[in-house]
Amino acid sequence: MYALVALVPFVLLATVMGLSWWEDRILPPPRREDPPVPVSTASATLPAASNPTPFKGH
């Protein structure tokens, strides 16, 4: 019984390593997507008001 408990971590490690190998060797590589188009910061900001009025009472 103790041998079974002692072997469980090694079985789990072998399973993870086998799945990692399978992922690297058997599965096709992921499709490369086009990189996202960068957004210019000038168009993302709102234009400032030319003559802002202060709040009433200040």
Q: How many helices (DSSP H) and strands (DSSP E) are in the chain?
A: 2, 0
Question: Phi, psi (5° rounding) for residue 37?
Answer: -75, 125
Q: Kindly report the number of other CB atoms within 10 A of residue 13's CB atom.
A: 10
Which of 2 and 50 is assigned the larger pLDDT?
2
| 6-56: pLDDT as tens digits | 999 999 999 999 999 998 888 777 778 877 777 665 555 566 666 666 667
Q: What is the pLDDT of residue 31?
A: 79
pTM metric for this prediction: 0.45
Place of tokens 């086009």: 34
